[in-house]
Structure 1
Amino acid sequence: MKKRDLKDLLYEQVARIGKALASPKRLELLELLAQGEKSVEVLAQELSVDIKLASAHLKALKEARLVGFRKEGKYVLYSLSGSDVAGLWVNLREVAEAHLQELRHALDQMVAEPSTLTTLDRPTLMARAKRGEVVVIDVRPAEEYEVGHLPYARSMPVGEIASRLAELPKGKDIVAYCRGPFCLFSQEAYQLLSRKGYRVHKLLDGVSEWQAAGMPLVGMAQAPA
């Protein structure tokens, strides 16, 4: 093979990843699957698309070897092909945030009140949670918590918070997190708990961001260094 043809082939193979990611819905699929394996029915509901379209997006990700699947009874369960794929999503989003003013503006609208965010860095948050000085709540669905979660975090899906208020102490700071900066569950939790008089803040990290920063997780393998 000629050198030029070989170089073209190399770049073409890497471009397969870029082509697979060139869709907002496929990027959202990566974020969803970073929380754990899910069926196409669940993914379609999360994306607000029909199953046929969700399947087409999953096919594109499978062809780029970013997603794998297994069969369980009549269901097909999809998952990321490796923890490095979750890291790829985090890196791509961070580069976009650094260079796209439009994205930063949209994020600023989501975090209209910076005071809602915790000011604790990751090691300090984990240390204070270990000592019981801060209560960290994971407001994602319970099955996502079981796959992997931040150390010392307790599962409290956003839809259950109103009926479980007695489990949360009013004398301590509460930090809520969900799937990452684009997830709105933690905002819902913040609004509900702040109305009830709790000292609550949000953490923009999800498990992918926490893992990409080299921080330990419970129930999920660490990404390669």
Structure 2
Amino acid sequence: MSTQGPKQALFAAFAAVAKALGHAHRLKMLEQLAQGERSVEVLAQKTGLSIANASQHLQHMRRAGIVGARRDGKFVYYRLADDGVLDVLAALRRVAERNVAEVERIVRSYFDQRDSLEPVSRRELAERLRAGTVTVLDVRPEDEFALGHVPGAVNVPLRGLEARLSEFDPAKEIVAYCRGAFCILSYEAVAALRAHGFHARRLEDGFPEWRSAALPVVIGNA
């Protein structure tokens, strides 16, 4: 019987990582963990899973080296293993956008329909923040904002945006962001702001990519 060579062993290990990513619930969990560390209970609530089911998915990803964990008393908290996980997810998204017809159809019929304008790059937003020429709007829920956000960002979750429009300066462009490139929240926020006469655009991706690029981050609700 032939023994497994090093190249085949590597391919098997790579395949195990890919297999651990191969579930929509796990990708949804990774989107949440990209915002910051989360307990199993919070991840279960955010993804609509039972705690037992969420824990099972997380353990699969932990064995594959995709997430890490720590225990604090009765609770277990998970986090991304490192920012390389974000690179894998971004590559997966690009391949699917370019080569999967269903992904292209969804992007064209939903996302492009809501926002055909060019988004703001991270570099441009960083420069405009320093110049004070932009209002940055974080439309994620309050708990995600507290885990980390762009400096100077105003946290107005999408559900409360209509009630707080009077707080924004109509003379300043508003740049909205949320969890990532296809986070629906920022698309909906920009559409609502434009409908009320504001000049609004999206950030090109989201908070995880901003943090991964080593740009300034503020933790807490300040």
TM-score, normalising length from structure 2? 0.84
1:13-32 correspondence to structure 2 within 5 Å: 13-32=13-32
Separation of aligned partners in 2, 1:145 and 1:30: 16
Cα gap change, 1:107 to 1:215, in 2 (>3 Å): farther
- Aligned equivalent of 1:89: 89
Aligned residues: 218
Give 2:153's aligned amino acid. A
- In the TM superposition, residue 177 of structure 1 has moved relative to its aligned partner by 0.9
Residue in 2 that maps onto 1:41: 41
Superposition map of 1:3-152 within 5 A: 4-113=4-113, 115=115, 117-152=117-152
Task: Give, in angstroms, the shift of residue 63 of structure 1.
Answer: 0.9
For residue 86 of structure 1, what is the amino acid of its counterpart? Answer: L
Question: Any stretches of 5+ residues in structure 2 without a counterpart?
Answer: none
Could you give the per-residue CA deviations for residues 141-196 of structure 1, whole angstroms, max 9, x where no partner exists?
23323333334433222233334333311122111111113321113322433343
Asked if 1:218 corresponds to 2:188, the answer is no
Secondary structure in structure 2 of the residue aligned to 1:218: coil
- Normalized against structure 1, the TM-score is what? 0.83
Q: Which amino acid aligns with 1:10?
A: L
Read off the aligned partner of 2:217 and give its amino acid letter. Answer: V
Q: Are the structure 2 counterparts of residues 151 and 29 from structure 1 closer, same or farther at C-alpha, using a change threshold of 3 Å?
A: same
Residue 153 of structure 1 corresponds to: 153
Letter in 2 for 1:102: E
Task: Give the letter aligned to residue 87 of structure 1.
Answer: D
Partner Cα separation in structure 2 for residue 209 and residue 110 of structure 1: 22
Cα distance change of structure 1 residues 34 and 196 upon mapping to structure 2, 3 Å threshold: same
> How far 1:139 moved relative to its partner?
0.9
Which digits, 9 at most, give the CA deviation of each residue in 1:64-102, with x for residues without a partner? 011112223432211111122222212221222222232
Structure 1 residues 5 and 121: alpha-carbon distance in aligned structure 2, compared to 1, 3 A threshold: closer
- Shift in CA distance, 8/68, structure 1 to aligned 2, threshold 3 Å: same
Q: Is the 8 A contact 2:122 2:203 kept in 1?
A: no
Over the aligned positions, Cα root-mean-square deviation in angstroms equals: 2.5
Identical amino acids, percent of aligned pairs? 39
Q: Classify the secondary structure of the residue corresponding to 2:8.
A: helix
Partner residue of 1:174?
174
Deviation at 1:140, TM superposition (A): 1.1
SS in structure 2 of the partner of residue 182 of structure 1: coil
Q: Which amino acid counterpart does residue 31 of structure 2 have in structure 1?
A: E
